[in-house]
Structure 1
Amino acid sequence: MAGYFGTETQQRLQARAEENAAFISATPGACQAGRMMSCDDPDLLGWPQIDAFLARDGVCGFRLIPAETVDDLKARLAERDYRLDTWDVFLGTREAALAASEAILARGLPEGLDDLAGPDDPEGADTVRIQSLMAGAGVVPFSGSLLTGAAGPALTVVIGKRGDKGDGDIVATAHGYLPHNAHSPFHRYAWGGLVAVAESERGKGLGKHVNARMVRGVFRDLGATHVYELVSATNTTSRRMVEACGLNIESGLVCGIATPSGGAHFTR
């Protein structure tokens, strides 16, 4: 597994998540966040293990945590001089999200753009171009292994400009995968995100289209029962995009990343 991308710290954390893939798959309370070690049940995983992640990596992810427990989680992290940066959870069922996404895809793409095949080489040129597009949009990418599905069931969808050989510039991308192990009640829930659109192509509805392709893919190709995406409270553009694809805010769940108090946000 390979294809790490970003700063030295980002690449180190990507490698850590991949190196621990077997542990994540087998351990109750753990989940695969791609960018770092993570959990979807802190009590089940246990605070000694979370403390070990924080001490070693300086960061830990928290996925689909019950909203009523977040204040306690924040208090526990504050005792350790960490804060929890959170995102709202938007959740879609197979029936609703597929119907909405199929309607978007039926409208097609603007002239000169095509749906392209996803990357298949973790260290290939197309994978690096996708990661660069994500990073340019302010999104911390996953490793090439995760993006290509070499590290577990996943898909990356791509829109590109039509070239003479069908290999024009990549202008939009999104990713979906199954983060939760068999011990989790969210085992068949897909995570969708890493949506990025080239600045020169924004305002054409490409975000909705590429997101809809990802949503369709996690249900049809990965066998998901639900899909969720994470959006900050102030990102109105992304909120409209995921709602258009049939996802609705799920106020009972929260996702976040624990980072040192006073430090920078890990991703937007």
Structure 2
Amino acid sequence: MNFLTVLGSFIITIASLVLAIFACFGSISKGAPLDKIYVAQLDITGVNISSVLGTTISTSSVPSFDSLGIPSYLNLGLWSYCIAGSNQTVTSCTKPSGIEQFNLKTMLEDNIDNNQVSELVSSVISIVVPEKLSDKMSYYNALIKCMCITLVVGIALLALTVIVNVLRWVLHFTFVNVIGRILSILSFISIGISAGTGTATYVVIRNILSDNYSEYGIKLSLGRKFYALIWASVAGCLINFILWILTRQRRKAQVIMQPVPTEKF
């Protein structure tokens, strides 16, 4: 029984670690599979430029976003983000530079090279970041920071759990089991907080932005691959903890004391 639980724990820990790593480093570089993994995607392909500019110009006379050099999609990762054209093909990714905050104004302005569309960009930014969102942006970014930090901590704890799991094959002491259980529950809590915080934060942001979609055509969607990876890692951490609970230390051989016969005098 111990052999199966220790082996199962080892396999599940490795799997949870790999899943968490892929989720953590999604969208840090152009190329599959990382550029397909993102926390959220900003879609501005359906924007009504006439409404945004507050004019009555004909849509047919307005050049496309691609021709203006405005990205159609922004795929948001934890440490960087990727730019995608109208066909959702990623064209470039920024270099990782610390925890990526949800700052749409900076992301859009950093990717506009044509000064002739500055009025359009400024108008788009004012719509993409409504007052209801901008007023609490520091709060949401604090939650995003929490998501990143707890995910990194969870990955480190899972790596330590793998080491303890290997030691468990050699050392059959009680304290090894105790350490394994502590690490497994802490990794579950840490990655669980990351997954829960990230999901809740971006769902709120998505709902706020969707209030303006019918008029301006700008929306945010969650990255299914990212959340599938991180929640699968959470589930693996929980199963791993249960397996550690089921793992017992090897019983010591019991020495049966036989009574020593006494000689009769």
TM-score category by the smaller chain? under 0.3
Higher strand share: 1
Q: Which TM-score applies when normalising by structure 2? A: 0.20
Higher helix share: 2
Higher-Rg structure is 2
Q: Which TM-score applies when normalising by structure 1? A: 0.20
